[in-house]
Amino acid sequence: MSLIVRRIGPACTIQDQGRAGFLDQGLSRSGAADLRALYEGAALLRQKPDLAALEMAGMGGEFEATAPLRIALTGAPMQASIDGSPVAWNASHALAKGQRLSIGAVLRGGYGYLHLGGGIATEPFLGSRSAHLAARVGRAVAVGDTLANGPDKGETGMKIAAEDRFGGGTLRVVASFQTALFDGETLARFEATEFRRGPRANRMGMQLDSDGPGFAAKGQLNILSEVISPGDIQMTGTGNPFILLPECQTTGGYPRIATVLPCDLPRAAQTPPGGAMRFRFVPLDEAVTLHAAWLKDLARLSSRVEPLVRDPHDIPDLLSYQLISGVVSAND
Amino acid sequence: MTRADPFPLIRTVGLDGVLVTFADTMTEPSNRAALAFRGALHEAGWEGVVESSTSLASAYLRFDPLRLSHAEVQARLAALLAERDWYAAPLPSGRKLWRVPTVYGTDLAPQLEDAAAAAGLDVDEAVRRLAQSRVRVLTIGFAPGQPYLGPLAPEFDIPRLQQLTPMVPEGALVCAIRQLIVFAGPTPTGWRHIGQTAFRCFRPGMEWTFALNPGDEMVFEPIERAELDHIRVHNEDGTGGATVEEIEA
């Protein structure tokens, strides 16, 4: 069972939760930019959250099923249809042999996810299926590729109430080892500033813009390269912040003012160009409590899955939907 | 070390990490301390630790803060630091010495003359000294498997170039600030391209994905261009003709 890629956006890669343990070799974890979306997909298909899915940055593609297949769609909402009939996002669906799934441009947010029942079953590299394009591990999915899935059985036609994290907002951060390189005035101004996501963004990091002066550290140019964590907010030479994402480098010489908590990284990564963001420092003990609550919430997502009733609100264009169905059934 | 010296310094890294820094500059003792301390962390095998690494003068530990609290980690690190003088500690065992055939200069590595001039040496003398330098993998980073090597003798404390060289190939040997790098892939750089090897640091799909480990040592032995051409034809294992031996502990 598999999907054949007939059309594909320019930045679609296979992602799971990434590969830990190679920091020492200069290889960062990679993994899905929106980890929550992986868990939502797993809950919808009632499978493990460590399976791989297709991450689609900005634009999806067209996929043809070679056999009956379960799929789920999560993350940034995108236009989606099966053989021309619109289908709901944040939901699971059945594809019959020969049916075509079309996924268009993102409607809000940045990264949409296509999950297959049984997960995408590529050969793991160092324990993970995640591409890491910055490190030349794997490659972008291309037209003609086949996305094979693992063993699978189960239901479809389910939906999940997804957390809306696709329009920016407040990101909670903790102080890190270089925060003290910034003086109190700069830190207060950083917390009081509304940033906008800049145009430069990929899976390595996203640039933030703001009005007013930049945020420089003391002695910024003489800092020894030190370890980087995903979520670090790095200040470049001009004092412009970048939030570092799953394909960040493992060490770097630009100072980092703070680190976004893992629970708020999906919101950070999904903020679209121009989206507004603010940062709020939380004490480390509170951050650990928030992290525990987040992991608990992810583990309980399956309790939020319910049948996808064909409520008119779930169907983007009711009239065209009925018209198309009618034509299809008449020809059958 | 004076009494006002804050090192070794323990600091938190984000939500789930801690950094032990042995100096604010890269020196032989600070790098040695970082490698030795990280080796001890690895041996301690604390439950809840996810991974550890070193940078030039620090050791880093990432852990699950729900299983191992920050307070507990910091207390254990402080106790471990107090056990000995880490700046004088022996390096971890299991390290290797690599001898890598290298073409110095020629059109393959066009910035050798420039680097020699910056070091105040003629080209022959620069090559003689570089070829005799046994350098340590100080840290690995920037690209997977890519080593930062040093320290070289003080005359090689040459600055990075203001203008980036648009692209040097995989296996390029470059020099700046008393350090060498063997590039893991084609990349732009501000370091001077002084030699060329066929050594692959990152070998996905092969038995050893990563050739080197922090603490390994390397020597770049001069060869003629024709020899490198020959090595390239028979380089299925990616070692580029390098030999390797265990360093006795």
> In chain A, what are the domain boundaries?
2-163+305-331, 169-296
Of B25, B51, B209, Cβ closest to residue A224 = B25
Nearest Cα of chain B lies from the Cα of A18 at a distance, in angstroms, of 14
Q: At A86, phi and psi to the nearest 5?
A: -60, 140
- A186 and A215 Cβ atoms separated by less than 8 Å: yes
Structure token digits, residue A90: 């944040």
Which pLDDT score is estimated for B1?
46
- B114 and B142 Cβ atoms separated by less than 8 Å: no
Specify the amino acid at residue B117. Answer: A
Structure token digits, residue A183: 């003086």
- A99 and A82 Cβ atoms separated by less than 8 Å: yes
Are A291 and B55 in contact (CB < 8 Å)?
A: no
Q: How far is CA A6 from CA A85, A143, A144, B211, in A?
A: 18, 5, 6, 39
**Which residues from B are below 8 Å from A288, CB to CB?**
15, 65-66, 69-70
Mean local confidence (pLDDT), B81-99: 95
Q: Which residue of A has its CA nearest to B144?
A: A26
Q: At A195, phi and psi to the nearest 5?
A: -100, 155
pLDDT tens digits, B20-63: 999 998 899 999 999 999 999 999 999 999 999 999 999 999 99
Nearest Cα of chain B lies from the Cα of A74 at a distance, in angstroms, of 27
Residues with Cβ within 8 Å of residue A322, at least 6 apart in sequence: none
Largest interatomic CA distance in chain A: 74
Residue (of A59, A1, A306, A282) closest to A161 by Cα position: A306
- B189 and B165 Cβ atoms separated by less than 8 Å: yes
- Give the count of alpha carbons within 13 A of A123, CB side only: 5
d(CA A327, CA A235) in angstroms, rounded, equals: 57
Q: What is the CA radius of gyration of chain B?
A: 19
DSSP code, position A83: T
**Which residues from B are below 8 Å from A22, CB to CB?**
144, 210
Which contiguous run of DSSP H or E holds residue A256?
strand A256-260
Cis peptide upstream of residue A86 (ω within 30 degrees of 0): no
Q: Does domain A169-296 have CATH number 2.40.100.10?
A: yes
d(CA A135, CA B210) in angstroms, rounded, equals: 13
**Which residues from B are below 8 Å from A251, CB to CB?**
55, 139, 141-142
Residues with Cβ within 8 Å of residue B24, at least 6 apart in sequence: A224, B7, B57
How much is the ipTM here? Answer: 0.90
Which pLDDT score is estimated for A253?
83
Q: How far is CA A291 from CA A227, A232, A277, in A?
A: 21, 16, 20
* Residue located via tokens 């490190």: A135
Residues 67-106 in B contacting A (C-alpha not used; CB under 8 Å): 69-70
- A42 and A115 Cβ atoms separated by less than 8 Å: yes
Residue B171, SS3 per DSSP? coil
Q: Tens-digit pLDDT profile for chain A (332 aa)?
A: 799 999 999 999 999 999 999 999 999 999 999 999 999 999 999 999 999 999 999 999 999 999 999 999 999 999 999 999 999 999 999 999 999 999 999 999 999 999 999 999 999 999 999 999 999 999 999 999 999 999 999 999 999 999 999 999 999 999 999 999 999 999 999 999 999 999 989 999 999 999 989 998 886 556 788 999 999 999 987 788 999 999 999 998 889 999 999 999 999 999 999 999 999 999 999 999 999 999 999 999 999 999 998 666 655 555 444 444 333 333 33
Residue A214: CB atoms within 10 A of its CB come to 13
Residue (of A32, A57, A59, A61) closest to A119 by Cα position: A32
Of A137, A232, A284, Cβ closest to residue B70 = A284
Residue B109: CB atoms within 10 A of its CB come to 23
pLDDT tens digits, B109-139: 999 999 999 999 999 999 999 999 999 999 9
Q: How far is CA A232 from CA A319, B85, B202, in A?
A: 47, 32, 26
- Domains contained in chain B, CATH given: 9-88 (3.30.1360.40), 96-246 (2.40.100.10)
**Which residues from A are below 8 Å from B64, CB to CB?**
none
Which pLDDT score is estimated for B29?
95
- Give residue B163's pLDDT band: very low, low, confident or very high (50, 70, 90): confident
Q: Tell me how many degrees the CA angle A7-A10-A14 measures, rounded to the nearest 5.
A: 85
Q: Check the CA dihedral A321-A323-A327-A329 and report its sign.
A: positive
d(CA B244, CA B219) in angstroms, rounded, equals: 10
Specify the amino acid at residue A332. Answer: D
Are B140 and A26 in contact (CB < 8 Å)?
A: yes
Q: At A15, phi and psi to the nearest 5?
A: -140, 140
Are B15 and A284 in contact (CB < 8 Å)?
A: yes
- Is residue B226 predicted with pLDDT exceeding 70? yes
**Which residues from A are below 8 Å from B210, CB to CB?**
22, 25
Q: Give me the sheet containing A111-116, strands edge to edge.
A: A12-15, A53-57, A111-116, A69-75, A91-95, A158-160, A305-307
Q: Check the CA dihedral B105-B106-B110-B116 and report its sign.
A: positive
Q: Which residue of B has its CA nearest to A230?
A: B14
Q: How far is CA A7 from CA A37, A315, B7, in A?
A: 23, 24, 56
Nearest Cα of chain A lies from the Cα of B8 at a distance, in angstroms, of 14
* Residue located via tokens 């003086």: A183
DSSP code, position A238: T
Which pLDDT score is estimated for A317?
54
In chain A the first and final C-alpha atoms are separated, in Å, by 25
- A217 and A181 Cβ atoms separated by less than 8 Å: yes
* Probe site for chain B from A29, A35, A225 (most B CB atoms < 10 A): A225
